[in-house]
A and B are shown apart, each in its own frame.
Chain A
Amino acid sequence: MISFVEMMHLALHVGLPHFLLLSAVLFAIGLFGLFTKKGIIAVLMCIELMLNAVNINFIAFNHYMPATDLSGQLMALFSIAVAAAEVAIGLALAFRIYHDHHTVNVDDLNHLKG
């Protein structure tokens, strides 16, 4: 086991694991929200959180790993673009669902049930 001092030392030397942990925490929070939220817009917000967590990973790896180019950042950029498309479609869908069913509650949207 490592001692408290060592732990503090590690905590204060910001490096790759810090970002990975942060990303994991954000992802897990998003996941929790994804499971528990009832409103469809809230669910979409949680998904955005999870996507951001992933982007943090991309950029952190690109920064700390001995990379030769900016592929990681570019991937994050693509990810942002795709996420933008996703949020546009998602919100349009939410609006559409609200328009058709007068609800944004995911519980009421169980038409997938056979």
Chain B
Amino acid sequence: MFSDFMLTHAWLIPLLPALAFLWIGFFTRLHKKRSAAIAITMSSLSFLLACGVTWAVLSGPITMETPFVQKTLWFEIGSVRIFMGSLVDPLTAMMLMVVTMVSLLVQIYSVGYMAHDPGAGRFFAFLSLFAASMLGLVIAVNFAQLYVFWELVGLCSYLLIGFYYDKVSAREAAKKAFITTRIGDFGLLLGILLLQITFGTLDFQELKVLVPAYIWISGTSFMTIVGLLLFIGPIGKSGQFPLHVWLPDAMEGPTPVSALIHAATMVVAGVYLVGRAYFIFSALPVVMNVIAWLGGFTAFFAATIALTQRPIKRILAYSTISQLGYMMLALGVGSLTASMFHLMTHAFFKALLFLCAGAVIEAMQDEADIFKMGGLRKKMPVTFAAMTIGVLAISGLPPFAGFFSKDEILGAAAAVSTPLYLLGTLTAFLTAFYMARLLFVTFFGEASPGCPATETNAFMRWPLIVLAVLSCVSGLWGHFAGFGEWVYFGAAEETGIDWVIAGTSTVLSLVAIGLAYEIYVAKRWSAYEISQRFGVLYTLSFNKYYIDEFYTLLRRTFCDGLGRILYWIDLHVIDGIVNGLARLVGVLSTIFTFLQNGQVQRYVAVFYGGVIVLVAYSLFYAYKVLTLLGGAF
């Protein structure tokens, strides 16, 4: 059976890019075109396999409750048996599709983007490993496997953000990304260990049975701690407040990497983890509240920062944080469907936006400030069209992808909590505004004289077109093909449209876009004056609420202070002890040098003196034993 074959060979999907990584890393690293060909071939193969798996899931008996699981013993420590394998359910299938497709398109785009970079071979190797890690994470059968790939994803992001390792800022950004996400990973690891200790297993299917029973018996108090610890991982990985600081800096890597990180691989890992472990989170009201409010706050908070930023990729980075906040919000209000739906549509339009941004930056010869661009509409028509579709999609205008998914999130939020709904809607308004600002400032207006921009090459253009098409249709498809009957938790969800909510947000988005048009194109109001009027708020937002500075201050105060104290201790206490010991040894050695005169015979004499003592000692005891036994002689 074809579908059986596909399911039993799902493990090949992460393996193929991993092979590409090894192959490129060992053999063709220095050969640009061959490396690209290998990476793209392997990605295409794993994309085809993912298509097959998705087909098998859609046509077969696989549902969220009855996933396909295939596993083999990985290692055994004492009584702990850890398996690895592949778990395929509709959620996995959706993720596999999204990740393979986006990474394939990004790799094709990279052929054009990295054409003149001498490190392109290395780049493709890392991209392949990145895709492999994320795919491995997606099909993990238990927390241990998931955690391994989770860390691998972090490693790859470190390697790729720091790809231009001769640039100080890139190195710093890579370290920041790695260390910040490590903070989250530590919480995740603690959570996983607590699960292992409590339940004796990390397997998703087994935990799915054990956790509700445990909560039913002993209440939610302990599991709440576990849930919060587990959630710290996604906070770091998915750039939620307050660990979001690494994500904007991650744009130091090449733009295709940003697209990959922001759309398909790195940041959605956190959302996916919450979705995968939803059977734990959904049973814990406190944790759900935390997730919802943190997501909502992050969405709003990042949107306000994005309003005032100037580098094009930084705006997109904050919009990613904001959209991830949306996904968390959806998870927190209990709608796995809405969250995953938004994850999918977001992956497409955010990849599109980033790749467009990459095209623009390359055309402008590494100029990233949007206010130094302008008038690119005529010079780069395809990029402009793609960017427009992306902006409309993220702003949530019908019939583009974002409309359906955002509407579902807002609907789910409205059903649970009005403040969260209001926060979400306000964020939607802000999102539309800053994305429209980005679009208008970059592409409208007058081109500066001597602007070097021209349309991008074919390798970069086609992925844009494919992603633009996907951004148009994926929402419609998800809505009408019944995404909610496919990926859900608990009961299958109807994907109906609440016209009041959808209408409100659409109208607000249109208003926001109009406002942006008035300010930045028609110039009815001066942007400068507005920023002056909101003085304090503008400064706060422009400086990202000084969070980086706050962390620096924290670090200076506590880490450096602690370091200074430890340095003092090291200098005076530990060195004092060591020096004292050395002096003691010196004094003792002057005594013992009497014995150490270099004469072999003296050594032999001392040695035999020792032997005699030992023999006499043992003789004494032997004599005692013999007398006990009745007479020695």
11 additional A-B pairs beyond A110-B598, A114-B596, beta carbons within 8 Å, are: A43-B601, A106-B601, A107-B599, A109-B598, A110-B599, A112-B596, A112-B600, A113-B596, A113-B597, A113-B598, A114-B593
Q: 1/0 per position for A26-68, CB-CB distance to B under 8 A?
A: 0000010011100000010000000000000000000000000
User: Which residues on the B side are within 8 Å of A114 (C-beta)?
Assistant: 593, 596, 598
Whether B598 and A111, one on each chain, are in contact in the complex, defined by CB atoms closer than 8 angstroms, is yes
User: Which residues on the B side are within 8 Å of A43 (C-beta)?
Assistant: 601
User: Which residues on the B side are within 8 Å of A109 (C-beta)?
Assistant: 598, 600
CA gap between A28 and B470 in the complex, in Å = 97
Specify the chain A residue showing the minimal Cβ separation from B604: A34
Q: 1/0 per position for B369-385, CB-CB distance to A under 8 A?
A: 00000000000000000
CA gap between A113 and B594 in the complex, in Å = 10
Q: 1/0 per position for B583-618, CB-CB distance to A under 8 A?
A: 000000000010011111100110010000000000
User: Which residues on the B side are within 8 Å of A107 (C-beta)?
Assistant: 599
Whether B597 and A35, one on each chain, are in contact in the complex, defined by CB atoms closer than 8 angstroms, is no
CB distance from B339 to the nearest CB of A (A): 73
Specify the chain A residue showing the minimal Cβ separation from B599: A110
CA gap between A93 and B606 in the complex, in Å = 24
CA gap between A110 and B600 in the complex, in Å = 8
Query: B residues within 8 Å of A by Cβ?
Result: 593, 596-601, 604-605, 608
User: Which A-B residue pairs are the 4 nearest by beta carbons?
Assistant: A113-B598, A110-B598, A112-B598, A110-B599
User: Which residues on the A side are within 8 Å of B596 (C-beta)?
Assistant: 112-114
Residue of B597, B605, B608 near A110 (CB, 8 A) is B597
Give the total of A residues in contact with B, Cβ under 8 Å. 13
Q: 1/0 per position for A83-114, CB-CB distance to B under 8 A?
A: 00000000000000000000000110111111
CA gap between A109 and B599 in the complex, in Å = 7
User: Which residues on the A side are within 8 Å of B593 (C-beta)?
Assistant: 114
Specify the chain B residue showing the minimal Cβ separation from A110: B598
CB distance from B586 to the nearest CB of A (A): 13
User: Which residues on the B side are within 8 Å of A113 (C-beta)?
Assistant: 596-598
Whether A35 and B600, one on each chain, are in contact in the complex, defined by CB atoms closer than 8 angstroms, is no
Whether B605 and A35, one on each chain, are in contact in the complex, defined by CB atoms closer than 8 angstroms, is yes
Specify the chain B residue showing the minimal Cβ separation from A37: B601
Whether A34 and B601, one on each chain, are in contact in the complex, defined by CB atoms closer than 8 angstroms, is yes
Whether B601 and A35, one on each chain, are in contact in the complex, defined by CB atoms closer than 8 angstroms, is yes
Specify the chain A residue showing the minimal Cβ separation from B611: A31
CB distance from A108 to the nearest CB of B (A): 10
Specify the chain B residue showing the minimal Cβ separation from A34: B604
Whether B604 and A35, one on each chain, are in contact in the complex, defined by CB atoms closer than 8 angstroms, is yes
CB distance from A58 to the nearest CB of B (A): 19
CA gap between A43 and B605 in the complex, in Å = 13
CA gap between A110 and B598 in the complex, in Å = 4
Specify the chain B residue showing the minimal Cβ separation from A109: B600
Q: A31-B608, A34-B604, A35-B605 are in contact. Are A106 and B599 (CB under 8 A)?
A: yes
User: Which residues on the A side are within 8 Å of B598 (C-beta)?
Assistant: 109-114
CB distance from B572 to the nearest CB of A (A): 31
CB distance from B222 to the nearest CB of A (A): 63
CA gap between A107 and B604 in the complex, in Å = 14
CA gap between A114 and B592 in the complex, in Å = 12
CA gap between A100 and B107 in the complex, in Å = 72
27 A-B Cβ contacts within 8 A? A31-B608, A34-B601, A34-B604, A35-B601, A35-B604, A35-B605, A36-B601, A43-B601, A106-B599, A106-B600, A106-B601, A107-B599, A109-B598, A109-B600, A110-B597, A110-B598, A110-B599, A111-B598, A112-B596, A112-B598, A112-B600, A113-B596, A113-B597, A113-B598, A114-B593, A114-B596, A114-B598
CA gap between A34 and B601 in the complex, in Å = 7
CB distance from B619 to the nearest CB of A (A): 13
CB distance from A7 to the nearest CB of B (A): 12
Specify the chain B residue showing the minimal Cβ separation from A107: B599
CA gap between A113 and B603 in the complex, in Å = 11
CB distance from B622 to the nearest CB of A (A): 15
CA gap between A110 and B595 in the complex, in Å = 12
Specify the chain A residue showing the minimal Cβ separation from B608: A31
CA gap between A7 and B107 in the complex, in Å = 101
CB distance from A30 to the nearest CB of B (A): 11
CA gap between A34 and B600 in the complex, in Å = 10
CB distance from A21 to the nearest CB of B (A): 15
Specify the chain A residue showing the minimal Cβ separation from B603: A112
Specify the chain A residue showing the minimal Cβ separation from B605: A35
User: Which residues on the A side are within 8 Å of B601 (C-beta)?
Assistant: 34-36, 43, 106
User: Which residues on the B side are within 8 Å of A110 (C-beta)?
Assistant: 597-599
User: Which residues on the B side are within 8 Å of A31 (C-beta)?
Assistant: 608
User: Which residues on the A side are within 8 Å of B605 (C-beta)?
Assistant: 35
